[in-house]
Structure formats: structure tokens, C-alpha cells
């Protein structure tokens, strides 16, 4: 586990855990690194306990999607996502079959070998460029049914900044998906 070390004119050593799960160790200027590391390791159980408590509180702060909210997301997705697929498919030079919308708990989208596309309705709670990235990602599977370098070149050809959107999903998407559970 990493921590941020802040040295200052103080006499004792302390640990802070911020709401973003950042761990900060405050130590006297002259304290040896070995002593700081030993203190940090000695406090691992306390740190883990507080991080787990913080995570539990953040999970509780995110209410589960209600049936009405999910129905609304599905309805919005059924209207919006096919429009985005229809927009990007000719640009990529691909065809597709059926588009379906669901509440998958582990995927944002999928593409079958026959060209059926499936998207998660929770995409409607994401920024529009992130949703477009997922649409392009799935359509690129019509050319490359894998995640090879050629696949990512196809994605980058349409959305050069796709890594920003992919990172957004990794950093924020989990909280949206967790609301399905």
C-alpha cells in the first residue's frame, strides 16, 4: 500500500485517511525513513479497517437504482443508443443485427459473432462521450472479435481519445454498476 509522506516541524508521527482513500503519514523532519516505514507497517490493521469502513460508507451513500429509475434508463437507452450505433456503423463500414438493452452487472456492452449488440442501460448515466466510446468499441468487434492491437487501432481511428473514456469507466463506472446489485 502506498502513502504520501509529509515532513514538518512536529514531534510525533501520525496517519490520516482522506475520503478519497488517500493515506497520508505526517512525520518529524529528522525521523529516519526506516522508522516511518516501521510505524506504517505496524498500523496496517488500523489502516485497513478504516479504509474498509470508508468504502462501506461510500457504498451506502450510493442508493440502489429503483425499478422506476431502471425503467427510465432502459427507455432512454432504447431511444438513444440505436441512434448512436446507426451513426457510427457506416463510419466504421460495419453492419449489425439486433440491438438489445439490459442491466448487465459486469459488462457495458457486448457484440456477438453474428452481429447482435447488447448494451447496459446504465450507460445513460455516463457522459455522452463515454457512451459513444462503448458503442464504437462494440462496433469495432465487427471487424476484430478480440482486443488486439488492430482492434484498438480501429477504436482510436474513430475516437482518438478513447483511453480517457476507458479510464473514466474504470474509475467511475463501478459505482454506477454497483447500484444494480
CATH number, domain with residue 97: 3.30.2010.10
Q: What is the residue range of 77's domain?
A: 67-178
Q: What are phi and psi of 177, to 5 degrees?
A: -65, -40
Residue 138 pLDDT > 90, yes or no? Answer: yes
Residue for grid cell 462501506: 56
CA–CA distance from 35 to each of 25, 131, 134 (Å)? 12, 48, 48
Same structural domain, 78 and 9: no
Same structural domain, 96 and 25: no
* Whole-angstrom distance, CA of residue 174 vs CA of residue 122: 11
Each residue's pLDDT tens digit, 32-53 = 999 999 999 999 988 888 887 7
Same structural domain, 95 and 46: no
Mean pLDDT, range 74-81, rounded to an integer: 97
Beta 14-17 vs 23-28: how paired, if at all? antiparallel
Mean pLDDT, range 54-62, rounded to an integer: 64
Residue 154 pLDDT > 80, yes or no? Answer: yes
Domain count, the chain: 2
Same structural domain, 103 and 152: yes
How would residue 132 be classed by pLDDT, with cut points 50, 70 and 90?
very high
**Pick the residue with more confidence: 177 or 99?**
99
Same structural domain, 53 and 82: no
Reference 4, options 55, 127, 17; nearest CA is 17
* Whole-angstrom distance, CA of residue 164 vs CA of residue 130: 9
How would residue 18 be classed by pLDDT, with cut points 50, 70 and 90?
confident
Domain endpoint, select from 43, 61, 79: 61
Same structural domain, 78 and 15: no
Beta 109-111 vs 23-28: how paired, if at all? unpaired
Beta strands per DSSP E along the chain: 4-8, 14-17, 23-28, 99-102, 109-111, 117-120
Same structural domain, 14 and 90: no
Q: Determine the pLDDT at residue 13.
A: 95
Same structural domain, 71 and 57: no
* Whole-angstrom distance, CA of residue 174 vs CA of residue 19: 17
Each residue's pLDDT tens digit, 20-31 = 788 999 999 999
**C-beta atoms surrounding 27 within 10 Å:** 21
Mean pLDDT, range 149-176, rounded to an integer: 94
Same structural domain, 52 and 102: no
pTM over 0.85: no
Same structural domain, 17 and 93: no
Mean pLDDT, range 67-92, rounded to an integer: 97
Domain endpoint, select from 61, 91, 109: 61
Residue 59 pLDDT > 70, yes or no? Answer: no
Q: Are 111 and 142 in contact (CB under 8 A)?
A: yes
* Whole-angstrom distance, CA of residue 168 vs CA of residue 164: 6
Amino acid at each position: 500500500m502506498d502513502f504520501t509522506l509529509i515532513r514538518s516541524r512536529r514531534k510525533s508521527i501520525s496517519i490520516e485517511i482522506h475520503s478519497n482513500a488517500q493515506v497520508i503519514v505526517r512525520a518529524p523532519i529528522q525521523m529516519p525513513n526506516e522508522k516511518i516505514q516501521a510505524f506504517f507497517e505496524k498500523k496496517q490493521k488500523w489502516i485497513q479497517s478504516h479504509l474498509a469502513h470508508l468504502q462501506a460508507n461510500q457504498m451506502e451513500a450510493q442508493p440502489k437504482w429503483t425499478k422506476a429509475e431502471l425503467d427510465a434508463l432502459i427507455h432512454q437507452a432504447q431511444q438513444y443508443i440505436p441512434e448512436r450505433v446507426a451513426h457510427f456503423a457506416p463510419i466504421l463500414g460495419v453492419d449489425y443485427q439486433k440491438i438489445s438493452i439490459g442491466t448487465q452487472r459486469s459488462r457495458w456492452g457486448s457484440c456477438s459473432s453474428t452481429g447482435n449488440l447488447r448494451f447496459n442501460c446504465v450507460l445513460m448515466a455516463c457522459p455522452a462521450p463515454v457512451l459513444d466510446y462503448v458503442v464504437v468499441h462494440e462496433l469495432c468487434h465487427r471487424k476484430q472479435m478480440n482486443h488486439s492491437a488492430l482492434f484498438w487501432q480501429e477504436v482510436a481511428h474513430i475516437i482518438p481519445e478513447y483511453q480517457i473514456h476507458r479510464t473514466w469507466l474504470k474509475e467511475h463506472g463501478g459505482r454506477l454498476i454497483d447500484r444494480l446489485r
